[in-house]
Amino acid sequence: PRAKSLYNKKVMHKDAVALVKHVLTCLKYQTQDEEQQESYFTDSSVLDTAIRFGTTEF
């Protein structure tokens, strides 16, 4: 049980890193304005909602 819990945490971390990289890449290519990119993180609850209610699928 302890090894499985550790494995699950590592998988979730790996998936979270991949998700953040993907979001940043998409944001970089979809918005040219730096102010617009910044407002995505300051005015949006998208990432907060994803973190709070996200699921891990295997």
Assess contact for 10 and 56: CB atoms under 8 A: no
pLDDT at 3 over 80: yes
Size (the chain), residues:
58
How far is the C-alpha of 27 from the C-alpha of 22, rounded, in Å? 8
What pLDDT is attached to residue 38?
Answer: 78
3-class secondary-structure state, position 47: helix
Tell me the whole-structure pTM to 2 decimals: 0.56
What pLDDT is attached to residue 56?
Answer: 57
Tokens 């494995």 sit at which residue? Answer: 7
The predicted-structure confidence for 4-57, as pLDDT tens digits, reads as follows: 888 988 888 888 888 888 888 888 787 777 887 777 777 667 767 777 776 655
Tokens 């102010």 sit at which residue? Answer: 35
